[in-house]
Amino acid sequence: MSGAFAIRSLVNYSEEIDLIKNFLRGFKDSTSPTLQKDVDTEMEIDGHNLDSSLDKNGINSPFKYLNLLQQVADRKLSTIEVSIDDIFQYELSAEEYDQDLEFESLGLNTRRQDVSDTFNKMNKNVTRQTSPSHLSYRIEHNTTRYIELFSKAIDTMIPEPSLRFNLDAEVDDVLDVILEQRKLRDQSDQNKRTMDNNSLDPNLSVSPNMDIESFPPQLTRKYSLVFRPRSSDPTFSVRGVGADKIGHLVKVRGIVTRVTDVKPFMSVAAYLCDTCGCEVFQEIKSKQFLPLDSCPSPICKLRRARGRLHRQTRGSKFLKFQEVKLQELSDQVPMGDIPRTLTVHCYEDLTRISNPGDIVNISGIFLPSPYTGWRAYRAGLLADTLLEAQCIDLQKQNYSALASSNNTNFDSIVSEIRLSGDPLGSLASKIAPEIYGHDDVKRALILQLVGAPSHTTHDGMGIRGDVHVCLMGDPGVAKSQLLKYVSKVSPRGVYTTGRGSSGVGLTASIVRDSLTKELILEGGALVLADNGICCIDEFDKMDENDRTAIYEAMEQQTISVAKAGITTTLNSRTAVLAAANPSRSRYNPRLTPEENINLPAALMSRFDIIFLLLDTPDHDEDLRLARHIAFVHMNGFHPSSNEDGNENIFDNAAISNTSAEFSSMDFLRHYIAKCRQYNPLLTKEVSEYIVSSYVLRRQEYKQYSDKNRSRSLHGKGTYSNADYNHSAILGSSVVGSITPRTILGIIRLAQANARIRFSDLVNKEDVDEASRLMYVAQVTLDLQLQASIKNSTGKGPSSYMSNRQDPISAIFGIMTDMLRSGVGIASNQSGTLNYANIQQKVFNLGFSDSDLQECLSHYDSLGLIQVNAARSRITFVGGSS
């Protein structure tokens, strides 16, 4: 055929299988106290002394892979993971061994060393580059072929089970029963033929070494083989895996965006011929295959019969299959590009490891995937690509895995902090240490990460234990940085923005599965952050219709969906950390908190703590902040905390170097995992203390509300507790109100604080700390509220100045109304008003010129407006307010 060339391969695969057998037999675990190359016979273990290298149980031998084979034979292990590092170390030891023999033949001193020196040398050479002469190099560049070679070698090395099991058709694997029945049948046929010639007993036992050649190897294998790449191999992004990596073993890092359901993947199809009665097996190595229609057995061919085949599902072999979508991380995407996605195929034990939202390192074989069906006609010679997973490593372990792990470096520090007088303060200092100040905010974030245990009543009603926190404040107070840090600390942290998120993006959307073409649900940010934290930045920029989608998720911790014929409820057991700016970008102390925040009362009441972060000028505080920022940029790490706030941190730069300290994020995850093992309970004494504290705060709030209401209330009537939330009537803010949800917030914060102490009981100190944090968060709001009420003495028409507004705010409202309506706008200048038009409008409404000048000066200092030198134009920053 024109264009076709036949080239003979120079690789002798029989020799390769022999090398593989020698490695499997001769490699010793690096943790074994015995020397890997102790005597000459260790490098030449053959099949005759294979059994002698194992002990009685076959699992205590220093030979790593012989132990694995014995566990596979005993049905204790279903996946054999072969490390490329092990193969490379074995080859290095073989080279050193050959050099020792050469030195001995020359009469020179041998270079043999003891165990520690040998393995130290191996660890130094682990980064050494492989060459085509190494088996590890050939495996990395032709992984699919060597999986089959390793499987063939393992098939001949599988030992006998240490315990003989009696098969039961109702309990054991179907294929095991079929193979045993086939052995019985073949042994019986052989005994009958032998009996005719030698008069033997037909009831001879079945030989365990009976070779069943009619079964394909894929059907008889009770294991799956995977390769783990070298630890020194580079980790690629999705776009970094190119055409030169086809067929290679690569390691890719990304975030999992979608996983399909685990489905059966047919590996071997079994047929039964209705003419000759033979069993026919067909190996399948692609997602689509053409079933056999005629029997290929010699009996049917001899009879010239076209036997009809019937597929036998019971005799076929199926593998667990799952498709994963891996997307690039945000820091891997070049400027101006969009993230790329790679399809990953997972089989057997690699399924159900990753979930949407997990950051993973997936090692696999990069393969082409030809299009099928009508897409093949359109694609022509083009093909898609996929990654056949070999091993999956999660970058963030969940809390249960961290709690069960033993880390001696962290355990000593955990004990030290636990026994300290203020463990919450010690942990808070490790939250974003590069960010100056915000001590109480960091304490609340630690309590949010720890959380409180959730409860379910006898009638099935659930009470959430997650703590919701809202950070409201001026621009430039590091709200977004705190959100980013918390999302990185949490094992299931999702960061999103209000402007870039829709209602379905936060909850769930209906998409069509690329594999089955069915409509399926795809979880949004709140679903991806299940059992974690969802950080929502620019919370005030969200559309109101989209913002209402999270009401149910915040309190009920579920998301109900009824779309496209799919009616279900998804779990959203997540803590929400939101950051928002005031309604006019900066907080205006002349307005009430409710006017500044401009968020619905039903939403704000769902937050346990609302912090108000203001950027107010203060000489001493500004000096410490500027020194802190300059120190971080100069040294690349944060300064150590000192008792004297006036001490110059630049003088102790060498002392405060924290570059050699442990990672604060890893330590926080480890400490929080230990904390979440405790479920603190409320005692009777503590419960009465919480009740009395809550009732006292309610009474103080009622007296405060009645005092502010007495001057503005013009009629009598009956009012319920809900009326105290009407800021238009009371002159108070929704944000500063004490609602029945407040007592739930105190209990959750107190239980989280008890978890930090590793205690199973909540004490009064935990309740006091929870009440203090809620008071600190509220007192800033109350101070601004008192200032707004105190300044509510302005004059002017009621249409522009209510009982809560002073003339300064009323004039600013007039200017914003003129800007929105287009009245008084300067020609060809968007967002700019004529000074003369504003002055005339203000005078007509009864305000004085001093009120106008004070308003312009105040809002110019806030950065909301700009007045030109000639005082002829007023420009709104951003175009509109």
Judged by average pLDDT, the poorest of 31-35, 165-169, 193-197, 388-392 is 31-35
pLDDT at 692 over 80: yes
Closest by Cα among 168, 500, 429, 224 to 347: 224
Q: Which residue has the higher pLDDT, 417 or 110?
A: 417
pLDDT at 239 over 80: yes
Question: What pLDDT is stored for residue 29 in this prediction?
Answer: 75
778: phi then psi, degrees, rounded to nearest 5: -90, -25
What DSSP character marks residue 858?
H
The number of CA neighbours under 13 Å toward the Cβ of 274 is 7
**Per-residue pLDDT band at 814 (split at 50, 70, 90):** confident
- Range among 220-234, 361-375, 454-468, 535-549 rated most confident: 220-234
pLDDT at 793 over 50: no
Domain match, 378 and 404 both: no
768: phi then psi, degrees, rounded to nearest 5: -65, -40
Q: Which residue has the higher pLDDT, 716 or 633?
A: 633
Supply the CATH number for residue 845's domain.
1.10.10
Judged by average pLDDT, the poorest of 97-101, 594-598, 801-805 is 801-805
pLDDT at 495 over 90: no
| Rg (the chain; Cα; Å) | 36
Domain match, 611 and 749 both: yes
Question: What pLDDT is stored for residue 363 in this prediction?
Answer: 95
**Per-residue pLDDT band at 641 (split at 50, 70, 90):** low
Query: Cα separation of 762 and 760, whole Å?
Result: 7
Of the three residues 360, 395, 430, the one that is the final residue of a domain is 395
**Per-residue pLDDT band at 2 (split at 50, 70, 90):** low
Is there a domain that residue 112 lies in? yes
The CA distances from residue 161 to 4, 46, 71, 228, 577, in Å, are 49, 20, 8, 27, 55
Question: What pLDDT is stored for residue 752 in this prediction?
Answer: 93
Average pLDDT over residues 495-523: 77
pLDDT at 124 over 60: no
pLDDT at 211 over 50: no
Residue 854 CB neighbours (<10 A): 15
Question: What pLDDT is stored for residue 698 in this prediction?
Answer: 78
pLDDT at 309 over 50: yes
Domain match, 342 and 452 both: no
Domain match, 34 and 121 both: yes
Question: What pLDDT is stored for residue 119 in this prediction?
Answer: 46
Supply the CATH number for residue 337's domain.
2.40.50.140
pLDDT at 52 over 50: no
Question: What pLDDT is stored for residue 805 in this prediction?
Answer: 53
Question: What pLDDT is stored for residue 364 in this prediction?
Answer: 95
Q: Which residue has the higher pLDDT, 850 or 50?
A: 850
Query: Cα separation of 281 and 214, whole Å?
Result: 9
Domain match, 625 and 767 both: yes
The CA distances from residue 45 to 36, 86, 166, 239, 551, in Å, are 13, 17, 33, 45, 68
Q: Which residue has the higher pLDDT, 673 or 116?
A: 673
**Per-residue pLDDT band at 704 (split at 50, 70, 90):** low
Is there a domain that residue 625 lies in? yes
Question: What pLDDT is stored for residue 659 in this prediction?
Answer: 39
Tell me, letter by letter, the H, E, C secondary structure of 211-237.
Answer: CCCCCCHHHHCCCEEEEECCCCCCCEC
Query: Cα separation of 44 and 808, whole Å?
Result: 93
128-150 pLDDT, tens digit per residue, is 677 778 889 999 999 999 999 99
The CA distances from residue 543 to 501, 554, 593, 639, 881, in Å, are 9, 17, 20, 41, 17
Question: What pLDDT is stored for residue 128 in this prediction?
Answer: 64
841-879 pLDDT, tens digit per residue, is 888 777 888 888 888 888 887 777 888 888 888 888 765
Is there a domain that residue 541 lies in? no
Q: Which residue has the higher pLDDT, 748 or 214?
A: 748
Q: Which residue has the higher pLDDT, 806 or 754?
A: 754
Question: What pLDDT is stored for residue 140 in this prediction?
Answer: 92
Question: What pLDDT is stored for residue 196 in this prediction?
Answer: 61
**Per-residue pLDDT band at 35 (split at 50, 70, 90):** very low
Q: Which residue has the higher pLDDT, 420 or 516?
A: 420
Domain match, 255 and 351 both: yes
Of the three residues 367, 395, 423, the one that is the final residue of a domain is 395
Is there a domain that residue 645 lies in? yes
Query: What mean pLDDT, rounded, does the chain reach?
Result: 77
Domain match, 242 and 320 both: yes
Judged by average pLDDT, the poorest of 78-82, 306-310, 588-592, 696-700 is 588-592
Is there a domain that residue 224 lies in? no
Residue type, 723: D
Reduced to 3 DSSP states, what percent helix, strand and coil does the chain have, rounded to the nearest 5?
A: 40, 15, 40
Long-range contacts of the stretch 425-433 (C-beta < 8 A, 24+): 427/668, 427/671, 427/756, 429/641, 430/664, 430/667, 430/668, 431/482, 431/485, 431/486, 431/489, 431/668, 432/478, 432/481, 432/482, 432/485, 433/638, 433/658, 433/664
Domain count along the chain: 4
pLDDT at 218 over 60: yes
Is there a domain that residue 177 lies in? no
**Per-residue pLDDT band at 801 (split at 50, 70, 90):** very low
356-390 pLDDT, tens digit per residue, is 878 899 999 999 987 777 767 677 677 889 999 99
pLDDT at 247 over 80: yes
pLDDT at 221 over 60: yes
Match 């997936």 to its residue by tokens. Answer: 362
Question: What pLDDT is stored for residue 246 in this prediction?
Answer: 92
Q: Which residue has the higher pLDDT, 29 or 108?
A: 29
Question: What pLDDT is stored for residue 299 in this prediction?
Answer: 86
Domain match, 374 and 467 both: no
Q: Which residue has the higher pLDDT, 717 or 254?
A: 254
In 528-574, beta strands by DSSP E:
533-537, 558-563, 566-571
Domain match, 279 and 384 both: yes
Query: For the whole model, what pTM was predicted?
Result: 0.70
- Range among 118-122, 274-278, 449-453, 622-626 rated most confident: 449-453
Tell me, letter by letter, the H, E, C secondary structure of 591-642.
Answer: CCHHHHHCCCHHHHCCCCEEEEECCCCCHHHHHHHHHHHHHHHHHCCCCCCC
Average pLDDT over residues 282-301: 85
Strand 309-311 relative to strand 317-327, pairing? unpaired
Range of the domain at 245: 234-395
pLDDT at 346 over 90: yes
521-571 pLDDT, tens digit per residue, is 777 888 888 888 999 988 888 887 777 778 888 888 888 888 777 888 888
152-172 pLDDT, tens digit per residue, is 999 999 888 877 666 665 556
Residue 716 CB neighbours (<10 A): 6
Supply the CATH number for residue 655's domain.
3.40.50.300
Query: Cα separation of 514 and 265, whole Å?
Result: 16
Average pLDDT over residues 75-96: 88
Residue 366 CB neighbours (<10 A): 22
Judged by average pLDDT, the poorest of 115-119, 228-232, 591-595, 656-660 is 656-660
Query: Cα separation of 588 and 474, whole Å?
Result: 10
Of the three residues 737, 764, 790, the one that is the final residue of a domain is 790
Is there a domain that residue 85 lies in? yes
Domain match, 837 and 764 both: no
Domain match, 401 and 391 both: no
The CA distances from residue 253 to 246, 341, 358, in Å, are 17, 11, 11
Tell me, letter by letter, the H, E, C secondary structure of 392-460.
Answer: EEECCCCHHHHHHCCCHHHHHHHHHHHCCCCHHHHHHCCCCCCCCCCHHHHHHHHHHHHCCCCEECCCC
**Per-residue pLDDT band at 727 (split at 50, 70, 90):** very low
Domain match, 702 and 781 both: yes
Query: Cα separation of 81 and 79, whole Å?
Result: 6
Is there a domain that residue 77 lies in? yes
Residue 459 CB neighbours (<10 A): 5
Contact yes or no for 835/871 (Cβ under 8 A) = yes
